[in-house]
Structures are given as structure tokens and as C-alpha cells.
Chains A and B, each alone.
Chain A
């Protein structure tokens, strides 16, 4: 197999999958479509986290902060001021980007690392949640419900189908972004910075700038994602969008699927979603245990297992196995 064969092989699979996803909603019911919509959105968000946490090496435990900022910006602008959802999303992204910039600049300036960064990022999300919960204007703890109206220009739709295609676009978008980062100088520089900050510095890489760029970009994308999330859900609640479980979901999906890979976040999210749906189905069928809590217990177990045994993730694991059985020597050829 030479390079050109691999390339067309992947392209065919890609197009085939895309077509599959495009026609998918016409063959399945609303519930399953909705599951996939949120799987898409979560995949996108995982991919966005991946830019800072995976490629950038900035393991944030509080990305929900950006989701929340994007979500509330979109919600407030749309429902209070009638500003279209897509504008709200972009502005939400920009606000998140500012927050992300501030956060990463602070981390670099004060050399906050590892454990302290983890706690700090968590705190930011918790503080924002607490502020929203106390603010009447932002709907307090009860959250804000969206009316079910149809205004396509605002990105408000009745029914789930339009959101399905929007979410699909988002997933394709994050795939493209991750793919182009990996190939660009930024991607190489981020890889270098992750492995050795000193060696990177000596070769002309401005380590601070790398961290700030990856965090800011990640924050922007995450913020935009927060917007589409609440638009699709038609509900914006602080415990949801700023909650630690959302941050954990992003982390878990990306870790499980594969940090610093293009498809890792997506594969990880879909597998976890499958686990979740399967468990929910069995729990409700056997009638008894709170399925929600059970799913989380299983996710917790997966989290522990991944942390210890699979810290690189599924996609790299599979890629390594494939490399061993294929005649290729060079890993980069498979990309």
C-alpha cells in the first residue's frame, strides 16, 4: 500500500460516513435523532477542549466556564433582545475567548501548573455558576426556557431536524480545524511545547504565546458550542452549562477517545453515548435503579480505568495496533 492508496481509501470512508449521517435522520425516530444531535454537539465541544487540553497540554477541569459564558450570552441576547442565535453564538464565543485569554495569561504569568491549574479552572466555573444562581437577570437557579417558535434566521427551530444538520456542520468544522492545526506550524509548535518547554524555547518557540493561543482558540470554539447547545436544548440552566459534570464530560470524551488526535474526541463521545444509552435502556427496562446515577457510576469507572491504563486514548491505541499489522513504517503516513 502506498501513500496514494491510503489517501483515497480514507476519503472514500469519509464520504461514505458523511452520506450515512446525512440520511440518518430520515430512517430513525426523533429520540435517536436527538441523542445523535447532542452527541454531535458534545463531540464538537470535546474537540474544542482538545485544542487546549490535548494539543495545548493545558488540562482544564473547568471548561464549563466557557460553555456557560457562550450559553448565557446566546440566551440573553436572543430572548431578551431578539438578537439572532448565530450572532449570539459568535459573541458568546468572543466573550469566552476573552475569558480564556485572561485565564491563560494568568497561568503563564504566575506559573500555575498541574494540580493548581486544575483546581483554579474548576473554581472559575464554580464562581460563574454561583454568580448566575444569584442574579435575577440571568434567571437564577431555575434557568431560562426557550419558547418553541420557528425563526430560522435566529437559529430557532421547532423539531430536531434542523439542529441535527447544524450539529453535523459543527462536527465537520471541528474536524477540519483539528486537522489543519495538526498540519500547521502551530500544531508542531504545540506538540513541541508539550514535550519540552525548554527545548522549545531554545528553538524560537514563544511558549507563553502557544499556551495563550491554544487556550483562547479553545475557549472561543467552546463558547460558540455553548450557544448551539442551549439553542438545541431550548433550556439554559447554570447547573447544567457551568456544572462540573459538563467539564468532566468534555474531559472524559477526549481522554477516552484520544487527546491530541482529530477523531479522538468524536470517537470517545460516541462510545460514551452508546454506553449511556445502553445503560439507560437496561436500567429502565429492569426497572429500578436511577439510570442517571448508574450511567455516571459507569462513567466514573471508565474515567478511572482510562486514567490508569489508557491515558493515550482509544484512537491512538487502535492506530498503534493497525500500524503493527500494516507494512507502513511512518506514523505520519496514516494521518
Chain B
């Protein structure tokens, strides 16, 4: 194992980690603020990928200028999903919530199959395929762009929750729902915004991943599980934890990939997660 390989795995792991972190953060956000295990989270990543694909293939616009529009659509979708769906399942049993979200996941995945067909597509945008060479380490441009976008968004989220009134209000709702209601906060609006943001998280992860992996409808399910796992590892409900967990996952997968292929890497990841689930289900930073 050469040093070059190790450094490559390290960098690749960190970059991918940023993307996984954003994905996991979205899930943690919903679980922490609204107390809903949104198993359909990965579906939006899938839609993100398909959106980019459509933008690249069918419109004249290059993929990345268009993505702002896509993210806006995602945000609005999140608001609508809260207003017309999630709002009504907040009070049912936890297991039924998971069942509901699983149902959503199935609907989304199969709608994707209906619209896009069951085969995989590959996104091929020239400038994203360029290989950047940096001191002998070769990286795809797409990875850097994707990671960069994720990091930017994470910073944006952090600032949003820490500095803006709305963001702080949402955090208040998370900590104490009744208290928030009593102080006149519009909890419904807060929840809706939180879900909107989480959908955008998922979408960004999808947009970032689109140039890197084959796009097919089953991807949604895979990323749904991954998002759950990352969130659980970091402590379901802790956004910062999810970010850290994302990096750990990225590094784990990346290092395993240099030893063997991705499917085994994922299998081992699942195994590790299972063990963690047994001994420390609250994850690294979680309290739920």
C-alpha cells in the first residue's frame, strides 16, 4: 500500500465525507427537530440525481447554474410535504411513522422507474469529468465540486441556525415543543422550514453524487439507509454529529475501497453499524 494510495484515500474520503455528512445532517435534522424518522430521506437524493441528469441531457443549461432552481423546488417540495403529509403523521406510533416513510420511499422509487426506466444512467458532463492532478494525486473535478457545494451548504445551515431568528426559533422548537407553542412561536411553520431544509440537504447530496455514480431508481433506498446510519452513528438528532459521522463513513468507505470493491465495503460498513447500534445506539453525540 503506497503512501500515494493512502493519501488519495484520505482526501477522497474527506471529500466524500462532506457529501455524506450533508445527507446525514438532513436526516438528523428531521429526527431531532420534528422527531420523525424520515426513511424517505434518500428519495430526495435520488431526485436530485435525476434532476441534474435531466438538466444536463435535456436542457441547454449547464447542470450547475440550473441547480439553484432545482434546490428551490426541493425546498418548496419540503414545505409542501410537511404541510400535506408529515404534519398528519406526527402523532402516530413510531413504527407506523417508519412504515409511512417507507411507503413514501417506495412510491418515489417506483415513480422514478416509471418516468426514467429501470436501467441506470450515467451523467457525463465534460468539465466535471476532468481529472485534477495535485502533487501526483488524481481526483475527479466532480468530487471536488460536490464536496465544495456540500461544505458551503453546511456552513450556510450552521449560520442559519446560529444567527438568524428563524433558525434559532427552530432550535427552540426542537428542544421544547410545548414551551415553544406557549411563547407564540409558529411551530408548524418552523417544522415546515426544517423539513424544507432537510430536503435540500438530501438534494445537494444527490446533486453532488450524480456525476460520480450510476443513477438508478434503487439508489434512493440505498441512500435512505445510509442517511439513517450516518445519523445514528453521529447520534440521531445531532446535526454536528451527523457531519462527523459523515466524514468517518467517507473515510471508512474510501479506505476499504482501496482494499476491495465497493459492495463489500458497504457490507462491512453495515456490519460495523450493526455493532454500533448494539452497543451504543445513541451514537457519538446523540441523546435520544
| Direct A/B contact, Cβ within 8 angstroms | yes
Closest to B103 in A: A303
A296 touching B102, Cβ below 8 Å: no
Contacts of B117 in A (CB 8 A): 290
B132 within 8 A of A: no
B104 within 8 A of A: yes
Q: Mark A251-276, 1 if CB is under 8 A from B, else 0.
A: 10001000000000000000000000
Residues of B in contact with A (beta carbons under 8 Å apart): 37, 85, 88-89, 92-100, 102-107, 109-111, 113-114, 117-118, 221, 225, 228-229, 232, 236, 263-264, 266-267, 270-271, 273-274, 277-279, 281
Contacts of B281 in A (CB 8 A): 110, 112, 116
- Listed A/B pairs (23) with beta-carbon separation below 8 Å: A110-B281, A112-B278, A115-B236, A116-B232, A116-B277, A118-B95, A119-B225, A119-B277, A120-B274, A127-B267, A134-B264, A244-B221, A289-B114, A290-B114, A293-B111, A293-B118, A296-B107, A297-B114, A303-B100, A303-B103, A303-B106, A304-B104, A311-B92
Contacts of B102 in A (CB 8 A): 61, 248, 303
Contacts of B106 in A (CB 8 A): 248, 296-297, 299-300, 303
On whether A290 and B95 interact (CB within 8 A), knowing A126-B225, A130-B267, A296-B106, the answer reads: no
On whether A301 and B274 interact (CB within 8 A), knowing A116-B232, A127-B267, A130-B267, the answer reads: no
- Looking at the assembled complex, report how far the CB atom of B61 sits from the nearest CB atom of chain A, in whole angstroms: 29
Contacts of A59 in B (CB 8 A): 95
Tell me which of B89, B114, B270 contacts A307 (CB under 8 A). B89
Contacts of A133 in B (CB 8 A): 263
Contacts of A308 in B (CB 8 A): 88-89, 92, 96, 100
A106 within 8 A of B: yes
Tell me which of B97, B236, B279 contacts A110 (CB under 8 A). B279
- Looking at the assembled complex, report how far the CB atom of B238 sits from the nearest CB atom of chain A, in whole angstroms: 15
- Looking at the assembled complex, report how far the CB atom of B93 sits from the nearest CB atom of chain A, in whole angstroms: 7
A122 within 8 A of B: yes
A110 to B282, CA, bound (A): 12
A233 within 8 A of B: no
B103 touching A115, Cβ below 8 Å: no
Contacts of A158 in B (CB 8 A): none
On whether A115 and B270 interact (CB within 8 A), knowing A248-B102, A300-B106, the answer reads: no
A133 to B85, CA, bound (A): 37
A134 to B261, CA, bound (A): 11
Question: In the complex, given contacts A120-B274, A300-B107, what are 10 additional A-B residue pairs having Cβ atoms less than 8 angstroms apart?
Answer: A114-B95, A116-B281, A124-B274, A127-B271, A294-B114, A296-B107, A297-B107, A300-B103, A307-B92, A308-B96
A110 touching B114, Cβ below 8 Å: no
Instruction: List CB contacts (< 8 Å) of A62-118 with chain B.
Output: 106, 110, 112, 114-116, 118
Contacts of A6 in B (CB 8 A): none
On whether A307 and B232 interact (CB within 8 A), knowing A134-B264, A244-B221, A300-B106, the answer reads: no
Contacts of A297 in B (CB 8 A): 106-107, 110-111, 114
A306 to B96, CA, bound (A): 9
A130 touching B270, Cβ below 8 Å: yes
Contacts of A181 in B (CB 8 A): none
A130 touching B110, Cβ below 8 Å: no
Closest to A141 in B: B263
Contacts of B105 in A (CB 8 A): 300
A131 within 8 A of B: yes
A110 touching B100, Cβ below 8 Å: no
Closest to B117 in A: A290
Tell me which of A110, A118, A124 contacts B98 (CB under 8 A). A118
- Looking at the assembled complex, report how far the CB atom of B197 sits from the nearest CB atom of chain A, in whole angstroms: 21
A246 to B267, CA, bound (A): 19
Q: How many residues of A contact B (CB 8 A)?
A: 41
Contacts of B266 in A (CB 8 A): 130
- Looking at the assembled complex, report how far the CB atom of B1 sits from the nearest CB atom of chain A, in whole angstroms: 22
A115 touching B100, Cβ below 8 Å: no
Closest 10 pairs (CB-CB, A-B): A303-B103, A300-B106, A300-B107, A130-B267, A307-B100, A304-B103, A293-B113, A293-B110, A296-B110, A307-B99
On whether A130 and B95 interact (CB within 8 A), knowing A116-B281, A294-B110, A303-B103, the answer reads: no
Contacts of A289 in B (CB 8 A): 114
A123 within 8 A of B: yes
Closest to B266 in A: A130
- Looking at the assembled complex, report how far the CB atom of A211 sits from the nearest CB atom of chain B, in whole angstroms: 15
- Looking at the assembled complex, report how far the CB atom of A262 sits from the nearest CB atom of chain B, in whole angstroms: 21
- Looking at the assembled complex, report how far the CB atom of A17 sits from the nearest CB atom of chain B, in whole angstroms: 30
Q: Mark A281-307, 1 if CB is under 8 A from B, else 0.
A: 000000001101110110111111011
A307 touching B221, Cβ below 8 Å: no
A133 to B266, CA, bound (A): 13
Closest to A305 in B: B103
Contacts of B267 in A (CB 8 A): 126-127, 130-131, 134
A300 to B100, CA, bound (A): 8
Closest to B265 in A: A130
- Looking at the assembled complex, report how far the CB atom of B267 sits from the nearest CB atom of chain A, in whole angstroms: 4
Name the residue in A112, A244, A302 with the highest tally of chain B Cβ atoms < 10 Å from its Cβ.
Answer: A244
Closest to B288 in A: A115
Contacts of A300 in B (CB 8 A): 103-107, 110
Contacts of B263 in A (CB 8 A): 130, 133-134
- Looking at the assembled complex, report how far the CB atom of A149 sits from the nearest CB atom of chain B, in whole angstroms: 33
A127 to B268, CA, bound (A): 8
- Looking at the assembled complex, report how far the CB atom of A204 sits from the nearest CB atom of chain B, in whole angstroms: 27
Closest to A306 in B: B99
